[in-house]
């Protein structure tokens, strides 16, 4: 039987174009011939990538990755006006981060900000400045509404933060039809987009970006109440956007802001991986009764990030597919908003390179050449 795999996609704005390249490489290198994709999860830009792959898989499209690559082409600045607007915004943010230009605190609710945006975006494609419209071009959400709950794999989990309750919510394709509001909620950066409000059964729920939630959802991927006992994965692959390490202590204002954003983006991921690591340790030490493991659908340790010193032969780990060090070092926070074709294309190209390296190595470990 093919190993069951869950793929978790970390959020990171435009930098999640890297994820598109990774997905292209995984499917082009015949991942489906050797692995059973039982679930996909993501937050923010990672949620959008996971959705587009999930949608293509459900529709039986070939190549699976084309819809995702088409989205990123459409999302990039294509006209002279769009390039000018994009470059002006990115350059202004960089100058502000460096303290060269004064920083003004505005919100998407500010009449001044709304007036400026309306004026500055005249002549641009409406879907270039409207995420909701862009998503509707690439996903038929009315079709998803007719699908209803999807009990067959793969399962799609989208993370978002309910700012009224403080809870980390998941939108789950097994439990409800995926709606465009779920994607907008997961991608709602609060200083850019208005809070996404969803009313269900008379209850109002307000959401911000998945960065404040699980980034990406990991723990839900091995819980039968979320994915079903038949979809408990044997491996979880993380497509990781935020670098773990840095080779220098940040001292400039913009470097401090960049590093802070990276650490915030990783904190929930490392907490989830640490929890899996401890559960695996208990599993290996025989702490769980056999009938309990059968009840929750766990037959072996999940792959985790590192071995416990007490078990040197324990080889389980969660592989993370990450950007090349050269690319990661060249990026800053503003790049997460940069949609110029050069930025998008280099992210996709590096994703293809790292994704191909990952899947070929994984197949070699299985004795497949």
Residue 102, in any domain of the structure: no
Residue 93, in any domain of the structure: no
Stretch (H or E) spanning 235: strand 235-239
Angle between helices 66-75 and 341-365 (to 10 degrees): 160
Write b or e for each residue in 126-150: b if 16 or more Cβ atoms lie within 10 A of its Cβ, otherwise e: ebbeebeebbeebbebeebeeeeeb
Residue 60, in any domain of the structure: yes
Residue 270, in any domain of the structure: yes
Q: What is the reported pLDDT for 311?
A: 43
Are 242 and 259 contacting, i.e. CB atoms less than 8 angstroms apart? no
Which residue range forms the structural domain that includes residue 238?
Answer: 4-78+129-366
Q: What is the reported pLDDT for 318?
A: 64
pTM of this prediction? 0.90
| Total domain count, the chain | 1
Residue 108, in any domain of the structure: no
Q: What is the reported pLDDT for 310?
A: 42
Residue 89, in any domain of the structure: no
DSSP state of 203: E
Spans in the chain with pLDDT lower than 70: 101, 103-104, 210, 212-213, 302-318
Q: What is the reported pLDDT for 314?
A: 43
Q: What is the reported pLDDT for 312?
A: 41
Residue 285, in any domain of the structure: yes
Residue 229, in any domain of the structure: yes
- Whichever domain contains 327, its CATH number is 3.40.1090.10
């Amino acid at each position: 039987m093919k190993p069951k795999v869950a793929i978790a996609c970390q959020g990171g704005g435009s930098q999640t174009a890297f994820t598109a390249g990774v997905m292209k490489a995984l499917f082009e290198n015949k991942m489906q011939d050797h692995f059973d994709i039982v679930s996909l999860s993501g937050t923010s830009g990672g949620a959008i990538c996971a959705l587009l792959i999930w949608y293509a898989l459900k529709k039986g499209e070939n190549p699976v990755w084309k819809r995702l690559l088409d989205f990123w082409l459409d999302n990039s600045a294509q006209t002279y006006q769009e390039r000018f607007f994009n470059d002006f915004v990115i350059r202004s943010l960089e100058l502000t981060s460096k303290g060269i230009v004064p920083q003004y605190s505005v919100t998407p609710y500010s009449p001044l900000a709304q007036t400026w945006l309306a004026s500055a975006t005249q002549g641009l494609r409406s879907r270039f400045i409207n995420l909701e419209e862009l998503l509707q071009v690439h996903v038929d959400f009315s079709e998803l509404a007719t699908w209803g709950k999807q009990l067959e794999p793969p399962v799609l989990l989208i993370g978002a933060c309910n700012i009224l309750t403080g809870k980390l919510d998941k939108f789950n394709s097994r439990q409800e039809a995926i709606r465009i509001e779920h994607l907008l909620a997961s991608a709602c950066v609060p200083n850019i987009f208005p809070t996404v409000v969803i009313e269900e059964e008379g209850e109002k729920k307000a959401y911000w970006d998945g960065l404040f939630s699980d980034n990406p959802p990991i723990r839900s991927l091995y819980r039968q109440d979320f994915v079903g006992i038949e979809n408990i994965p044997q491996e979880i692959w993380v497509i990781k956007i935020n670098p773990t390490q840095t080779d220098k202590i940040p001292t400039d204002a913009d470097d401090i802001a960049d590093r802070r954003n990276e650490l915030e983006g990783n904190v929930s991921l490392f907490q989830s991986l640490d929890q899996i690591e401890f559960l695996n340790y208990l599993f290996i030490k025989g702490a769980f009764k056999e009938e309990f493991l059968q009840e929750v659908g766990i037959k072996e340790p999940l792959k985790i990030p590192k071995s416990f010193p007490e078990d040197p032969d324990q080889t389980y780990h969660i592989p993370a597919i990450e950007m090349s060090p050269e690319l990661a070092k060249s990026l800053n926070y503003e790049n997460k908003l940069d949609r110029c074709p050069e930025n998008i294309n280099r992210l996709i190209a590096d994703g293809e390179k790292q994704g191909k390296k990952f899947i070929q190595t994984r197949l070699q470990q299985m004795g497949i050449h």
